[in-house]
Homo-oligomer: A and B are copies of this chain.
Amino acid sequence: MTVMLSKPYLIFVGEETNPVYAKTGAGLVQWDRENCVGQLRLTEDAVDLGVPECSVEEALKQGAKTLVLGIAVVGGRIPTAMMSVIEDALSRGLDVASGMHDRLGDMPAVRDLAQRSGAKLIDVRVPPADIPIARGVKRGGKRLLTVGTDCALGKKYTALALAAAMRDRGMDATFRATGQTGILIAGSGIPIDAVVSDFVAGAAETLSPDAPEHHWDIVEGQGGIVHPAYAAVSMGLLMGTQPDAFVVCTDATRSHIVGWPDFPVPSIQRVIDITISLGQTVNPDIRCVGISANTSGLPADQRATYRQKLSDDYGLPCVDPLDGGVEALVDFIAGEFPHEA
């Protein structure tokens, strides 16, 4: 009932020369280096992810299971130059995974090759077909959701960094992916914003199933709980996740919702209050355990001061995963949940 990928990966960079568009591949290397056998580049000036060059044949010898398209381009079209490698991989039985808008499953030639070799096509933007309606039943284990004052300000990054830091601390934590890049990194997940609205909460339940008492699911948030367009996604995710804890992600220099210039970014307090009020429906013990602030827009010497001020104002740890890490969050969680740390 979730999108599933097989690791290890061969990362396909193609001809992409712009690091911004190769962020997916870079994310795979950053968060799951040990499951990346190498990169396949079509030209010498393509982005170098810092892992060994590797052909489809070599990758197969090293046990690679999936060729992952490691780029995301405007418009979401798979570049024509990449098709012959995709077809070669499929004909040799290597799965191919893509987060592009263009669906591999919609290409008859590609589908035929996959069918013949038994390789799988994984379009990570396409939700599984068998998502149930949410039941609302309490599940074992603990769940943390990253929520946000807006989109695109660090909810995925915070969840990945937090899950990794908790594991480093010896805690049992799993990152749960709700968007295409996160799904490629995790190797599984559900693209929650593509799920029909009646089933969003059910998708979130499926994503963070019953687990042992000390286990933590760290769920990647989406949208924003008072976002003019995407609040429905955030609401379903909140109801289905039944979080015990949440972290509010924000951006130090953003004043208005990106793409909705008439809407100021809500205050952190408003996001905390609404998330607790709504979340108590499914988990009476829901609480905010910290703030993750993207401070990259501030001068380097003002970032720590800004975080300290937020921390003092809210009585919560405030971190920037890219500037100082998330250890303070892990400390706070360990203190709040002494039996699950």
Contacts and interface: CB of A to CB of B under 8 A. Distances in A.
A230 B200 CA distance: 8
**Residue with the greatest number of chain B CB neighbours at <10 A, chosen from A137, A197, A200:** A197
A235 B262 CA distance: 20
A274 interface: yes
**Residue with the greatest number of chain B CB neighbours at <10 A, chosen from A233, A260, A262:** A233
A229 interface: yes
Nearest to A273: B277
Interface of A: 133-137, 192-198, 200-202, 226-233, 235-236, 239, 260, 262-263, 266, 274, 277-278, 281-282
A192 B195 CA distance: 13
Contacts of A229: 133-136, 198, 201-202, 239
Contact of A233 (B135, B192, B197, B228): B197
A87 B211 CA distance: 52
Please state the number of chain copies in the assembly: 2
Contact of A193 (B196, B235, B260, B274): B196
Contacts of A133: 229
Contact of A195 (B196, B226, B230, B277): B196
Given A193-B196, A196-B196, A232 B228 contact: no
A231 B236 contact: yes
19 contacts: A136-B260, A192-B197, A194-B196, A194-B198, A196-B196, A196-B197, A197-B233, A197-B236, A198-B229, A198-B232, A200-B232, A202-B229, A231-B235, A231-B236, A232-B233, A232-B236, A235-B236, A266-B281, A274-B277
A233 B282 CA distance: 17
A193 to B, nearest CB: 4
Nearest to A274: B277
A231 B239 contact: yes
A136 B133 CA distance: 28
Contact of A197 (B136, B195, B281): B195
A9 to B, nearest CB: 27
Given A136-B260, A196-B194, A274-B277, A201 B228 contact: yes
A231 B201 contact: yes
B262 A228 contact: no
Contacts of A135: 228-229, 260
A226 to B, nearest CB: 4
Contacts of A200: 197, 232
